Structure 1
Amino acid sequence: MGIKDTFNLAWVPSMLLLGLVYLTYVLIGGVVFWKLEGDLGQKDISLLLRSKNILLTTYPCLNQEGLEAVAQVVQDASKVGLSLRGNYTTDGFWKFTSSAVFAATVVTTIGYGNMSPSSDAGQIFCVFFALFGIPLNVVVLNRVGKYMLALERNISDFLVKKTKRRRCTRFFVHLVSYLSGTVLFFVVPMIVFQMHEGWTFSQAIYYCFITLSTIGFGDFVADSNPEKAYPEWYSVLMASWIFFGLAWLALVINHSIDILERLSNHLKQRRGGQKQEGGSPDTGEADEKAETKTPPEPQ
Structure 2
Amino acid sequence: MSMKEMLLRVPSILMLGAIYVAYVLIGGVIFWKLEGDLGEKDISLLLLNKNRLLTRYTCLNQEGLEAVAQVVQEASKAGLSLKGNYTSDGFWKFTSSALFAATVVTTIGYGNMSPSSTAAQIFCVFFAVFGIPLNMVVLNRVGKYMLAIERNICDFLEGRTGGWRCTRFFVHLVSYLSGAVLFFVVPMIVFQLHEGWTFSQAIYYCFITLSTIGFGDFVADSNPDKVYPDWYSILMAWWIFFGLAWLALVVNHSIDILERLNSHFKERWGGQKQQAESGGAGVDNPDTVEEEDGIKKPPITP
TM-score above 0.5: yes
User: Do residues 113 (structure 1) and 111 (structure 2) align?
Assistant: yes
Letter in 2 for 1:212: L
**Equivalent position to 2:34, from 20, 33, 36:** 36
Deviations 1:241-297 (A, max 9, x none): 00000000000000000000000000111112112211269xxxxxxxxxxxxxxxx
Shift of residue 22, structure 1, vs aligned partner: 0.2
Q: How do residues 116-265 of structure 1 correspond to structure 2 at under 5 angstroms?
A: 116-265=114-263
Structure 1 letter corresponding to 2:110: Y
Structure 2 partner of 1:284 = none
Separation in 1, partners of 2:104, 2:3:
45
Match of 1:61, SS? coil
Deviation at 1:12, TM superposition (A): 1.0
Give the 3-state SS of the residue equivalent to 2:7 in structure 1: coil
Please give the secondary structure, in 1, of the residue aligned with 2:277: coil
Counterpart Cα distance in 1 of 2:223 and 2:81? 8
Q: 1:84 aligns with which of 82, 85, 105?
A: 82
CA distance in 2, matches of 1:165, 1:8: 42
- Partner residue, 2:300: none
Name the structure 2 match of 1:104: 102
Which residue does 1:267 correspond to in 2?
Answer: 265
Q: Which has the larger radius of gyration?
A: 2
CA drift at 1:164: 1.9
Give the C-alpha shift of residue 3 in structure 1: 4.9
SS of match in other structure, 1:118: coil
Q: Give unmatched runs, 5+ long, in structure 1.
A: 282-299
CA shift for structure 1 position 165: 3.5
Aligned position for 1:8: 7
Classify 1:280/1:70 alpha carbon distance in 2 versus 1 (closer, same or farther; 3 Å).
Answer: farther
Local SS of the residue matching 1:216? coil
- SS of corresponding position for 2:165: helix
Alignment deviations for residues 79-100 of structure 1 (CA, whole Å, 9 cap, x no partner): 0001000010110000000000
2:297 is aligned to none
In 1, the alpha carbon distance for the partners of 2:165 and 2:133 equals 36
Write the letter of the residue equivalent to 2:253. H
**Offset at residue 102 of structure 1 (A):** 0.0
Matches of 1:230 and 1:280, distance apart in 2: 72
- Provide the rounded CA distance (Å) in 1 between the counterparts of 2:278 and 2:259: 24
**TM-score, normalised with respect to structure 2:** 0.90
Letter in 1 for 2:68: V
- Two-structure CA RMSD over aligned residues (Å): 1.3
Residue 59 of structure 2 corresponds to 61
Q: How far apart are 1:212 and its partner, in Å?
A: 0.1
Q: Distance in 1 between matches of 2:255 and 2:104?
A: 26
Distance in 1 between residues matched to 2:140 and 2:165, nearest whole Å? 26
1:214–1:280 distance in 2 versus 1, CA, 3 Å: farther
C-alpha distance in 2 between matches for 1:250 and 1:123: 29
Cα distance in 2 for partners of 1:33, 1:46 equals: 20
Residue 8 of structure 1: how far off its partner (Å): 2.1
1:18 correspondence with 2:16: yes
Letter in 2 for 1:48: L
**Residue in structure 2 matched with residue 289 of structure 1 by the alignment:** none
1:129-168, Cα deviation, whole Å (9 max, x unpaired):
0000000000000000000000010001100001123430
Spell out, residue by residue over 1:221-252, the C-alpha distance to the aligned partner (whole angstroms, 9 max, x if none): 00000000001100000000000000000000
2:71 corresponding residue in structure 1: 73
- What secondary structure is seen at the aligned counterpart in 2 of 1:167? coil
Distance 1:127 1:166 in 2: 52
Alpha-carbon distance in structure 2 between the residues aligned to 1:256 and 1:2: 29
Instruction: List structure 1 runs of 4+ shifted beyond 6 angstroms.
Output: none
